[in-house]
Amino acid sequence: MPYVTTEDGAQIFYKDWGAGGSPVLLSHGWPLNADAWEATALFLASHGHRAIAHDRRGHGRSTQTWDGNEMDTYADDLACLIDHLDLTDLTLVGHSTGGGEVARYVGRHGSARVARVVLVSAVPPLMLRTEDNPGGLPIDVFDGIRAGELASRSQLYRDLADGPFFGHNRAGDVPQGVRDAFWLQGLASGTRNAYECIAAFSATDFHPDLAAIDVPALVIHGDDDQIVPIDISGRLSAELIADATLLVYEGRSHGLPDLDRERLHADLLAFIDS
């Protein structure tokens, strides 16, 4: 299996599908891995693009490091992979936590290799409520996730999959296989890695990173997202990025890559090929 080794010795697993065409790098959400993007990677590779998806450190098949479970290191790992593959004219696509990762990559490493950015149900600019971010979610929300991670991570992931992540608690019509895949991928992450990533996705301030995005951006968000509410994330990100287009998926949940694939794939392809 293909890996790239980072400066601190972590091995980052990645998939590299398709030949020719401009590259698209897909960054996954918490607590998932590259498998979460398989359908999208297959679609893009089948439509003339090179699709790359990696397992964030501590997730999936990548090294479960003790340290480095924060956004700066995630972004540096991404830079290591991009440099290793010598990617240019690159479209960065990030779902949820992955949206923070790609924003932080541009903030730390610039856009010389990047042509476009796509944020899907993404965590920027800042999820946590603070004095400067009064509209954010209270820390009790994230402390509850941390408590669940420590008490029974298997049950936590089951509860998220059966409840708000896909909106199954609204309509109850999310296929069992989709929910099981979330649970399975979650359990492939390291306990410490997943626990520390909760702070990474909730308490990291991405305002400077969004201001640094100087390439066209597409922000896609469901307006019934119970995990990353659109009013504290997608709408604000679209305002903070200089050249951004916001697409709102009405009535849709956080799990757009699984439940809204046809629409998402069409929107991604149109933006990448524009």
pLDDT at site 259: 97
Model confidence band, residue 12 (pLDDT cutoffs 50, 70, 90):
very high
CATH number at residue 131: 3.40.50.1820
Model confidence band, residue 132 (pLDDT cutoffs 50, 70, 90):
very high
The predicted model scores a pTM of: 0.98
- The total domain count for the chain is 1
Do 25 and 85 touch, CB atoms closer than 8 A? no
% of the chain residues with pLDDT over 70 = 100
pLDDT at site 223: 98
Catalogue the active-site residues: 96, 225, 254
Buried b / exposed e across 60-85, counting CB within 10 Å, b at 16+?
bbbbbbeebbbbebbbbbbbbbbeeb
Is residue 86's pLDDT more than 90? yes
Who contacts 198 (Cβ-Cβ below 8 Å, separation ≥6)? Answer: 30, 142, 145, 146, 149
State the residue range of the domain holding 195: 3-272
Compute the distance between CA of residue 190 and CA of residue 28 in angstroms, rounded to an integer: 15
Structure tokens at 94: 């990030």
Q: Phi, psi (5° rounding) for residue 164?
A: -80, -25
pLDDT at site 171: 83
Is residue 218's pLDDT more than 80? yes
Is residue 229's pLDDT more than 90? yes
**Average predicted confidence (pLDDT) for the chain:** 97
% of the chain residues with pLDDT over 90 = 98
